[in-house]
Structure 1
């Protein structure tokens, strides 16, 4: 794959967005569709669009665009740091115009090192935070009238920066963070397992960007498995979770959106951040992968996430009583059914927990069973994988075409498989499943990946959730006890379908700590039985 051609936004049509921006500048809507032409006319009737340069930190100039109203009327403003893309601020062109038409002054800018902005990519480091404040200064100084309240909005990379700016700049009154992260260290090292595919995707998508030497070094260290503690220290400063006290001190309202099958920033670390916030907050969870659920809004089509982002700012920046504050903290789209389920809090999503035990008969059983052992051969890829491709798999899921796993093709000599009885009624999984399992590793370092599948009577299955695990400390030939959370899910297992737990020792999405051809022997000691806890709603 050509690094320069790889994008975390495969559906983004840069040519069409560039034509839209040109029309904003000139008023010539020739070649635009009726809807886009109407949007251009609407925003030009109330605001002036211009390309600008913002004086960022260290004297670096940031490429930006501004939508500014004339007249002395007090107005709220919004700053939009760009996603991780060579297109810079361009993906925001349509939505920034919609905000401007609704009365906001808006500034969208390309983060340092990307597109036309100077400087080097620091991955939401101190210079990026300072850039956000400088961008806000630029917008306030050029607003014709008084600024009432201030919002920061970002997608992906821009979402993390938005949270961090809000934590450090007391002028920020509300945040919208789409496809975001809370703990960057956990995103890179989930259960101490290297997210190789995620880092590779970030490097490829930044093929035309200018990475700082430190950024390049950190990414290379993750891929090579070097200096884990150094990477975690680097990530801590760049994690909104590390600065949540600052956000809570002012109770900054934060709106999150996230995808269930997120392969770049797994959902549990964002949930950790969300649950720690004490101010007004909302989390919309959707089918798909990174940035996919909000993509239609970026290209100008109706989109509930962007609609809720507008409602969030209208409520918290304009003071409009539009009901969003009374709708509860959680809105979850149930996987494959597209049913939307509101919940008052995340903790109310799970009503009770059902425990199934891993048995020697390869069953998920109601009672514990000790004394059995089943082996997994290391170094062999299997049909059980997280996804076929990072980000891209989510678009098939949104379209209702999730990957079908052929359970008969899963070789039991290189995987461990446990299957439950067919469900007598629909099983409503809601929340974070937990797996505890014990295994014997012949080497000091070992890893595995656990997948929870829902298998139909015909032998096909869909992935419900998964999680990796890595042990780096235990002596050779010792028993390792793994107690891990699988990624959060909302999934209805239909009547007659079976839950299937699959464990293998290698997945291309993650770093492999095992020695080739080694064997992991899974078991269930009587004192610490192996089990799977299922959150039910």
Structure 2
């Protein structure tokens, strides 16, 4: 099999890599060498009560999928959970902890690695129709395997990252799937990768880099995306890979999770879909980035809030267990960075009403403009385009893990070049305030050339240290037919749940470069921000 490159994005740390190998080796052989101590007894119990082993499952067109199957020795027919692999070269092996926990709950389990990923045959299509067909073939295989004694009326799917989107898509096509757990998931792949006419190039490269065997179609899509050509065709390619664009939806009970600083599948596209999803649903939004909460649970069986809720979700919808998972709120949020949790009946009741702050130009010798609740009669300021002044995230995924360790990325406000970025700040808040929802910004953008990409960032600024913590951001690209045209930009920033301490400011910054995105900024040009074609403001979903 082709070995994964060493330079690609990983969901697992080197230590977790070692744990994966040890846990899977113990499951298969009974050799507990190197297994975390708290898993040794659980694995021994599972091995004593279940049958389990590695498999090669034929997918669509006979493509062999690397897999693992396990089931209790007694008590059939067994409810069945299918686990498509996440975005990591370890494939199905990253589910060691989840396999143990599901077996202890008396499920039969089949975990598999999708085509084109290390261990399996075929080419990577990124949740294409072949992947949906493969998922259905895995279910066929499980039901045809008499040893599993799987119950055809009690089948669920659980996936993280790549496997979460495939779980949703398979469930929508296959009437046999009765419940889904979609961890660190997407809903609209096109919007996740191309929002506000701006390419999220780092996320696209991360999706593609998992495999050295991309399909011919994927090769062309990636080439177009990198070169910023045929974007309409790229978005058409993304639609059948997006649960949000499935024309005939099954109302499968689905548990979704995401993160406030999700860098692979930014959360707004998921929230839009969740809000209109017709079936039983639950949403968990946490501090951090892609997989930060779930990976310890699915890898090592650690009891995390979201993984336990995921198992309860399956128990309720597949086993009929009255565990309260359907009555404790539909939306569950974790606040940056104090980890306070809150439950709400829906997204509308969780979100705060909007409070408008207007953008004002610097005055009185200050380098910074003001955010005020009173509109400015006129507002205009210009910045030089082409340099990155803000790094809301240095790397995909990793910064989010640091946030969960109470080490969020900080930046000094004094380090921002006011000639290359516009800065606005509020007065210090005398009392704590809370942002809950998606801020929205409007400003007239006039590039001196035809195109520019502007990046809007909202920070919590501590005036006592001069340091800022990122709350949320958005990227927007302006594409004009001629140079110098004023264009009204409306940008919805990614949703957030953040408590601003008393004495702190809110600071907005707009610049024209971000290394995680493919921009259309032309170095050496200027950009004028104004209220020429309408008020310039930011609406903040804020309460006391």
The CA deviation string for residues 412-442 of structure 1, in whole angstroms up to 9 with x for no partner, is 0000111111111111100111111111122
Match of 1:524 among 522, 531, 536: 531
> How far off its partner does 1:178 sit?
0.6
Counterpart in 1 of 2:519?
512
RMSD over aligned CA atoms reads 1.6
TM-score for the superposition, normalised by structure 1: 0.96
Counterpart in 2 of 1:501?
508
In structure 2, the CA distance between the partners of 1:170 and 1:288, relative to structure 1 (3 Å rule), is same
Counterpart in 1 of 2:416?
410
Counterpart in 2 of 1:334?
335
| Cα distance in 2 between the residues matched to 1:57 and 1:473 | 46
> How far off its partner does 1:88 sit?
1.2
| Cα distance in 1 between the residues matched to 2:138 and 2:479 | 43
1:76 aligned onto 2:79: yes
* SS at 2:159 equivalent: strand
* SS at 1:324 equivalent: coil
| Cα distance in 2 between the residues matched to 1:534 and 1:421 | 15
* SS at 2:175 equivalent: coil
The CA deviation string for residues 426-467 of structure 1, in whole angstroms up to 9 with x for no partner, is 111001111111111222222110000010112111000000
1:87 aligned onto 2:87: no
Counterpart in 2 of 1:433?
439
Aligned residues: 529
Match of 1:62 among 35, 49, 65: 65
1:144 aligned onto 2:128: no
Counterpart in 1 of 2:307?
306
The 5 Å alignment of 1:392-403 reads 392-403=398-409
Moved over 6 A (4+): none
Counterpart in 2 of 1:464?
471
CA contact (8 A) 2:352 2:437 kept: no
Match of 2:50 among 47, 50, 73: 47
The 5 Å alignment of 1:79-478 reads 79-142=82-145, 143-144=148-149, 146-204=151-209, 206=210, 208-243=211-246, 245-247=248-250, 251-300=251-300, 301-361=302-362, 362-382=369-389, 384-458=390-464, 459-478=466-485
| Cα distance in 2 between the residues matched to 1:454 and 1:15 | 38
Greater shift after overlay, 4-13 or 455-464?
A: 4-13
* SS at 2:157 equivalent: strand
CA contact (8 A) 1:75 1:148 kept: no
Greater shift after overlay, 5-14 or 424-433?
A: 5-14
The CA deviation string for residues 465-514 of structure 1, in whole angstroms up to 9 with x for no partner, is 00000122453211111111100000001111000100001111111212
| Cα distance in 2 between the residues matched to 1:237 and 1:436 | 32
Greater shift after overlay, 103-112 or 64-73?
A: 64-73
TM-score for the superposition, normalised by structure 2: 0.94
